[in-house]
A and B are shown apart, each in its own frame.
Chain A
């Protein structure tokens, strides 16, 4: 377990050796069901997750949790506090919780998430939960790393227009209205239903219309447990539906495409930048932009021509 945790850390830090280790692990990946949990800050993602972990442990699932919290853009430090809600599983050897800091990634995840999912997969986890940072409307990278996306909403966060906006509302496979004992719940439910009714039936991939699940007060164990069970069953149903309609493949295709792009970025762009920084060229180019001697596009184009030996 410590080896796995250290490997994730080396990948977060961008160690070359750790990346080569992935070569040996990669053939053994692809077994786990990856579930993404996303929603605004304070929506109750970690608490829901804690309930889900408990319910999956009851049926003997081996669980991995990746919890992402933001890195400070100013100091590079981070406070990772998602474990607080999951501490009762800390001593359970069937639950591996790992916190990740975003380290500047903007899509609601950390760049190391894809790799960390693979590592937990190879560890034999049946289900891997990925909890995003508290999201706004646009942090949708989670779809590229999970089979099932759960979007957690809470009542009182805005009117009907918020619901038809693009981005986060489009990526849900399952909607959860959390804290559903609070005022505004039925209104939110109505609006969500209307949003789903408006959508063309063809826009639901393989006929899966995202269900809406209401989860009430987490401090009342009985209704909370019942709602969590419903959510857990729905997550299974969604996976079955993906399998039956052979949609799993298109999701995996999307994941593979993302991973390839990210690896290209690391191996090509980062290498180029490292070279430019150490040769001082990057600083020169920045000064040219500042002094209005050139513009970013011309500089980038010139660089591309030089590096790719292409002349337009």
Chain B
């Protein structure tokens, strides 16, 4: 009786204590039946990447409202790739200006969710684009 559960890490990189969004999403993922590893605020990209590997997650969701996403998001992705985990998808959310989307996508960020995105559509994206234990 084998079941495949989606494992998601929700993390807040950098100096940003606004975690309401991250918590709402963690809760929403729980309700969608995912296993959520929530690591809280003020994480370095190194901590997030190391945690993602130890926890064997399928996807890392980063929340950033400080404006430092252009550095922080790609750095997490880079560290994962460097450690041989290019299969772990990285998605981001928060206050992200549209003109930054392309740069983030080019750096390997799979999707960006900005304010106003419904929880349902985020869960739907996860269910469509992320396979547990590929």
Interface on A for B, CB 8 Å cutoff? 1-2, 5-6, 8-10, 12-16, 71-72, 75-81, 83-84, 87, 90-91, 96-99, 101, 270, 273-274
CB contacts (< 8 Å) of A91 on chain B: these are 44, 46-47, 50
Please report which residues of chain B, range 55-87, place their CB below 8 angstroms from some CB of chain A when the two chains form the complex: 55-56, 83-85
Q: Is there an interface contact between A2 and B38, defined as CB atoms closer than 8 Å? A: no
A13–B3 touching, CB < 8 Å: yes
Task: Say how far A267's CB is from chain B's closest CB, in angstroms.
Answer: 11
Top 6 closest pairs, chain A to chain B, by CB: A77-B30, A5-B56, A90-B47, A84-B40, A76-B33, A14-B2
- The residue on B at minimum CB distance from A273 is B1
Q: Specify the chain A residue showing the minimal Cβ separation from B88.
A: A2
B106 at the interface (CB under 8 A from A): no
> Can you list 24 pairs linking A and B with CB atoms under 8 Å apart?
A2-B85, A5-B53, A9-B133, A13-B133, A75-B31, A75-B33, A76-B5, A77-B30, A77-B34, A78-B30, A78-B36, A80-B35, A80-B37, A80-B55, A83-B38, A83-B39, A87-B40, A90-B46, A90-B50, A90-B51, A99-B55, A101-B35, A270-B1, A274-B1
Residues of B1-25 contacting chain A, CB below 8 A: 1-5, 7
B105 an interface residue at 8 Å Cβ cutoff? no
Query: How many residue pairs between the two chains, A and B, have CB atoms under 8 Å in the bound complex?
Result: 95
Known: A5-B56, A91-B47. 14 other contacts (CB 8 A): A5-B55, A6-B133, A12-B5, A14-B1, A71-B35, A78-B30, A79-B26, A80-B36, A83-B37, A87-B47, A90-B46, A96-B54, A273-B1, A274-B1
Tell me the smallest distance from the CB of B51 to a CB of chain A, in Å.
Answer: 5
Among A9, A16, A96, the one with the most B-chain Cβ atoms within 10 Å of its Cβ is A9
B129 at the A interface (CB under 8 A): no
> A92 — nearest CB in chain B belongs to which residue?
B50
Within 8 A of A (CB), among B77-134: 83-85, 133
Tell me the smallest distance from the CB of B96 to a CB of chain A, in Å: 24
Give chain B nearest CB distance to A40 CB in angstroms. Answer: 21
Chain A residues lying within 8 Å of B46, measured Cβ to Cβ, are: 90-91
Min CB distance A172 to B, Å, is 29
Residues of the B chain whose Cβ atoms lie less than 8 Å from the Cβ of A90: 46-47, 50-51, 54
The answer to whether B31 touches A77 (Cβ under 8 A) is yes
- B37: chain A residues within 8 A (beta carbon): 80, 83, 99
Q: Which residues of B contact A99 (CB under 8 A)?
A: 37, 55
